[in-house]
Structure 1
């Protein structure tokens, strides 16, 4: 059985070393009636490196100017990276698959045979070539499984490239929208001047401590409330300006009364953001940032806790 497009099947492994030489050979091998094989060109990565670097620099600059930890933008940034990584993996698999085309072409040349599947696979535009009706008549031949696998790789790579490009555009729009809110955000920052972490409070700022106590009185008790912590992914927790209000234990997804408590906590935080100095709220894989109001879906990080399905995250200025 052939491997899946995301794995490295045995025929791909055998082809990686001789692939370059065979592709060069396949570039000008004669087929029937004057046709020649042209190896499919490599696909370009969506969004050049300069474009991505520019967006990352803008995020870093805005992060400093807009009160720190623009989680909404950083989540979009994470989505772009994940999508681009996906295109690289698929492109690598597709390059290995192109090696198969070259090997078939070389075999055909050596044996003097004529396999129509080779001419279809070796078309300069794989998306067009593989949709050619000629392929249908050869599905039953011994190369049909490989043909179908390459077709799937082509389709998946094209889809991944479209998704990556869309995520880049979404990130660009998020940045533009936030820049438009500059005056309002500056007013928020001026109203809620940053505070220093205080000793004897577990490392949280007075504003975060007040917000924690207020919400605990309104909706507590919670199974636990986690505030100050360090680490690479701590973000606002490391500055004492964030707390996680757990509504379940053991990493289980909230449902029933636990989900209702989370919904009420998030809604209360948003409604009282101006009074308490709340910067943003994350709940059920969505973020509501007061600097650019409105719920926005977040990238899938894997697991109930990472996606905030078992706790409400609240950050303050």
Structure 2
């Protein structure tokens, strides 16, 4: 092998090794976890523990953890694409060096800053269009990775803050639970004395068709159902108890959905306003009724996290996002 070819082969190996190595820019870059899975597992355990203490699903918290996991998956996907693109560039650069050509594609090996790559590469007049496309692809992946990392970290930080806020309110929530449990016990005692039975008979003459009502729901939920129906009914239907254990209050008999349309269709503007009237009335009377949280139009109001309407993650459909009904859960 000639001296030139041996030198070319050595350079090719060096170029490939540099391209495959983690790239770094001349500027300091804040350290960010590319996969916050371990912390999310810990937050998951905290969420389960808080849900047990708070006597019901914490939608804001589970939403936050799921969103953070999606962002972490996106980081991994982008990193995989970036590794594949870097490998293609390594092959190209190695081939160019073997042939004795110096190619600006090597610039990608020494910079992880997507904003400077094209500026530097554009000064090389001999860069072919195909090479420009490869550089643009790499720049795009660098930027996508940066955005995905920022999103993942922001989601984890937001979830961590929510956990801290919920932890700080545990004593207050415990007082609410104790208050409503005492009310339930006193009510059962009164009914037992007046009827000779501790059983509960729901109020008849509902304005709306009720699915999963009656003895399948708690007395408190029945009170809320009856009052909402009498004030705002009729609804297309009211769905309460269902056996499917989805982590919420429906299988516990502590939740009802007040439907504003049928067949998963978007309600009319008039019914949308009607839904807000129901949701805001339930919020304003939450203390008297024992309302734990309300969900409507992809927003949640939860007394346990301090109240205030907060946006929820997209669940993928009109019904799943609560656009066609008002959900009310009670303690």
Structure 1 213/200 Cα, relative in aligned 2: closer, same or farther at 3 Å?
Answer: closer
- Taking the aligned partners of 2:19 and 2:158, their CA distance within structure 1 comes to 36
* Selected match of 1:127 from 114, 126, 131: 114
Shift in Å, 1:131: 4.9
Question: Which runs of structure 2 are paired with 1:175-254 in the superposition (5 Å)?
Answer: 175-193=163-181, 201=214, 203-231=216-244, 233=246, 235-254=248-267
* Selected match of 1:269 from 263, 278, 282: 282
Q: Does 1:90 align with 2:108?
A: no
Structure 1 50/37 Cα, relative in aligned 2: closer, same or farther at 3 Å?
Answer: closer
Shift in Å, 1:215: 0.8
- The one-character-per-residue Cα deviations of 1:169-192 (angstroms, maximum 9, x if unpaired) are 111111111122222211111112
| Greater gyration radius | 2
Task: Give the number of the structure whose residues are more often helix, by fraction.
Answer: 2
* Selected match of 1:58 from 39, 43, 46: 46
- Taking the aligned partners of 2:50 and 2:92, their CA distance within structure 1 comes to 53
- Secondary structure of the residue that 1:233 maps to in structure 2? coil
- Secondary structure of the residue that 2:110 maps to in structure 1? coil
Aligned to 1:309: 323
* Selected match of 1:296 from 292, 310, 314: 310
Shift in Å, 1:254: 3.0
Structure 1 134/143 Cα, relative in aligned 2: closer, same or farther at 3 Å?
Answer: closer
Shift in Å, 1:202: 5.9
- Taking the aligned partners of 2:151 and 2:41, their CA distance within structure 1 comes to 19
Aligned to 1:29: 15
- The one-character-per-residue Cα deviations of 1:26-48 (angstroms, maximum 9, x if unpaired) are 66139xxxxx9443528974464
Aligned length: 288
- Secondary structure of the residue that 1:252 maps to in structure 2? coil
Structure 1 173/248 Cα, relative in aligned 2: closer, same or farther at 3 Å?
Answer: same
- Taking the aligned partners of 1:311 and 1:144, their CA distance within structure 2 comes to 52
Shift in Å, 1:159: 0.6
Shift in Å, 1:51: 1.9
CA RMSD of aligned residues (A): 2.9
Shift in Å, 1:156: 1.3
Q: Unmatched 5+ residue regions in structure 1?
A: 1-24, 31-35
Shift in Å, 1:316: 0.8
- Taking the aligned partners of 2:12 and 2:250, their CA distance within structure 1 comes to 57
- The one-character-per-residue Cα deviations of 1:226-245 (angstroms, maximum 9, x if unpaired) are 11123353521121111111
